[in-house]
Amino acid sequence: MRAYLILFMSVIMVPASWGQMIPSRSENLENLVTFGKQAPSNWGDDDHVQIFFMLVPKDYDKPVYLNIYDPGIEGDNDQIVASANTKTRFSVYSGKGCYSNKAARSINPTGNYKSGNLIKSRTFGKNDALDKKWVQLAMVNPKEGEYVKEFDGYVFKVVCEGLTGDDGNHYKYFLSSSKDNRIPVPGGNGFTYEYSFQLKNKAKSVCHIYPYVDDKVDYLVQHNFDFDNDGFIKINSVVRNGHHQKLSADGEWSQSRISIKPQERNKSIDIQIEKKTGEENDMVFYVVNQYNEPVPFFASPIGVTKYNFQIDVKTKTISK
């Protein structure tokens, strides 16, 4: 499996520049989202914490820079409930255990999910100056990350916590190879095990998230939260064309099972979220395998996820 993953990540992955912004362009999501601790879950965040892992290829030895777009609570990019009273903390962890500690990869932020060495932590609240701006949170030496053999690269972790307040903080990450500009790290990627995001505020828009299916997966169970029944959720892959899944209502979880076909292993599948309305909508997604283990969503899908549409043509010349 490892060999496949490395191959796909280094060769077949969509252009690197797409994957270094999280959410990526191919995902077509509006933002990541973390709500303040006092916000009810039916605003679209079940646990007020979002954990993301940044992956840097093994051979990349220059510093990388983690940037955040609009880290504070201000303006129309965020979900301000009454007054912008929310504080959000972004913390970067590296070193042994930052990835391998099971709590870091669980669905719920319980136990030692902040494992590893804390490199940098910064709390953002109401701040006009940072509205819709990129802010550099931390510079990281990739080798200080935890080496993960399965991905053949170094991983560090970013934990976003909604500390206080009831607003929704909408933000993005960018893993950059440049201190002053946002230039992708070649072969870099970002992944999470529970995804909290804002869909596009546009009717009929289609967003994509890409759970990775390794060679041990027999079936997956998708869990979606607070979709408000606002459209359709479908699965696409090289051998699957738009299989509809169960949808969640406001503040509720819903789940459905997906049997995996051999051709779908060792690559990402494409969960398409098709929106019916133009209403703002934040939601949560996670997927587990048959052992109830969460599987990672990569911002840049791994391998080919498109359904293979074949066209057969027969030509004939006939007398008039």
Partner 1 sequence: MYKVIAATILVLLAGSGFAQKKKHLKKGNQFYENHDYLFAERYYEKYLSGTEDMEVTKKLLHCYKAQSKNDKLNTAYKLLMADGNQAYMIEYAMFLISSEKYEDANKILDNYLSLSSNSDKELAQTLKDFSSAKSGVSNLNCTENVESKYCVEISAAKSIDPENPHMAFIWKFEDGFTKKGVTVKRCYEEPGEYTVSLSVKDNISGLVEENVNTKTFSFAPSPTFSSEDGKISIISAGEESTFKCDKASDSLTYIWDFGDHTFSTGSEVKHTFNQAKNSTIKMYILSESGELDGCVEQNVPVLYNFKSRRP
Binding site residues, partner 1, CB under 8 A: 204, 206, 231-232, 234, 239-244, 274, 306-320
Minimum CB distance to partner 1, residue 277 (Å): 13
Minimum CB distance to partner 1, residue 313 (Å): 5
Cα–Cα distances in Å, from 110 out to 50, 103, 155? Answer: 12, 7, 20
205: β partners = none
Cα–Cα distances in Å, from 205 out to 43, 198, 227, 231, 278? Answer: 20, 12, 14, 10, 9
Is 29 or 160 the residue whose CB approaches partner 1 more closely? 29
Minimum CB distance to partner 1, residue 238 (Å): 11
Residues whose CB falls within 8 Å of the CB of residue 299, separated by 6 or more in sequence, listed in order? 19, 21, 22, 23, 24, 27, 189, 190, 191, 210
Is 108 or 241 the residue whose CB approaches partner 1 more closely? 241
Is 114 or 240 the residue whose CB approaches partner 1 more closely? 240
Minimum CB distance to partner 1, residue 265 (Å): 18
Minimum CB distance to partner 1, residue 318 (Å): 6
- The whole-angstrom separation of Cα 185 and Cα 183 is 7
Residue 107 token pair: 């669905």
Is 111 or 242 the residue whose CB approaches partner 1 more closely? 242
Is 149 or 316 the residue whose CB approaches partner 1 more closely? 316
Minimum CB distance to partner 1, residue 202 (Å): 13
Minimum CB distance to partner 1, residue 120 (Å): 42
Residue 61 token pair: 């030895």
Is 114 or 265 the residue whose CB approaches partner 1 more closely? 265
- The whole-angstrom separation of Cα 17 and Cα 24 is 9
Is 219 or 307 the residue whose CB approaches partner 1 more closely? 307
Task: Return the CA Rg of the chain.
Answer: 20
Residues whose CB falls within 8 Å of the CB of residue 316, separated by 6 or more in sequence, listed in order? none
Is 82 or 313 the residue whose CB approaches partner 1 more closely? 313
- 213-235-215 Cα angle (round to 5): 15
Minimum CB distance to partner 1, residue 247 (Å): 11
- The whole-angstrom separation of Cα 215 and Cα 110 is 28
Torsion of CA 69, 75, 80, 84, to 10 degrees: 90
SS3 6: helix
